[in-house]
Amino acid sequence: MKKTLSDLRSKKQLKQKISMLTCYDYPTARLQDQADMDVIFVGDSLGPNELGYEHEKDVTLEDMIHHLKAVRRGIKNAYLLADMPYGTYDTIEAARTTAMKLIDHGADGVKLEGLELAVIEDLSKRGIETWAHLGFNPQKHIEASVHGKTFETARSLVEAADALQSAGACMMVLELVPEEVGALLTERLLIPTIGIGAGRFTDGQVLIAHDLLGLTPKKLRHAKDYGQLDQHMLTAFQHYVKDVSSGMFPEKSNLRHMDQDELHLLRC
């Protein structure tokens, strides 16, 4: 069954956790969907994780659409979320165009960073499911750090969250905030919260898929290791190179042959 925003809201009501992961390609989308993921997310972390870019800010709308289309083809049931890339929602008009393009190419909802209240209000009035993203914002903040550790900074997060919900944000991603802030916002907000490095009590969890698969070299406190895919891939590639070099690949079972009579004719 196709998952909708209202399913995600029900999960909050029923205190069932929402699962979400980033995804940038078709085969991964198929597997995540098969795993019954609630939300499959084409984040702008596409840049550093999949495209080898220096920063999320280098990701273009064309990059996003290219990968969004591939991920869309792999999904039957999951809710598909797409990030609005850096510099594509600086005005209400620009934001509208960006959001419409992402929706037209298969996104069920779009996410943007920061306190862009006018943009969120406009998009949500147009029926576009618009997600907010508070705490550490890779498009806006230079260094990855925990936000909201002091009374003052935590209070400003609470105020921002209230304002974003009032403006029409339908979901809230919380990145790198203390567990206490994650819990407080989750209790306070009517809309579901999804945490990354935001503790145990948010309505759902999101991670960058490459971090849990072991495809990123760095170790992150908030990520859990679910398998060293890098080692599996490296070993497979090394074996392949070795087998090709030594003539061990292809094997008998990999071959196709001509009919002997046809071969004889060819040789005459």
Site residues (vs ligand KIV, CB under 6 A)? 22, 43-45, 83, 173, 175, 196, 206, 208
62 catalytic, yes or no? no
The residues near 245 (Cβ < 8 Å, ≥ 6 apart) are none
d(CA 253, CA 132): 53
**Do you find a cis peptide bond into 250, omega within 30 degrees of 0?**
yes
Nearer to ligand KIV, 200 or 264 (CB): 200
* Cβ-closest position to ligand KIV: 43
* Minimal distance, residue 60 CB to ligand KIV, in Å: 14
DSSP string, 111-156: E--S--HHHHHHHHHTT--EEEEEES-TTT-SS------SHHHHHH
Binding site for Na ion (CB under 5 A): 43-44, 83
Nearer to ligand KIV, 35 or 244 (CB): 35
* Minimal distance, residue 150 CB to ligand KIV, in Å: 23
Nearer to ligand KIV, 51 or 236 (CB): 51
* Minimal distance, residue 59 CB to ligand KIV, in Å: 9
* Minimal distance, residue 124 CB to ligand KIV, in Å: 19
Residue with tokens 């849990």: 212
Identified catalytic residue from 50, 56, 129, 175? 175
Integer CA distances (angstroms), 52 to 46, 71, 196, 229, 246, in order? 9, 19, 22, 18, 32
d(CA 51, CA 28): 15
50 assigned to a ligand binding site: no
Q: Which residues define the annotated binding site for Mg(2+)?
A: 44, 83, 113
Active site residues: 175
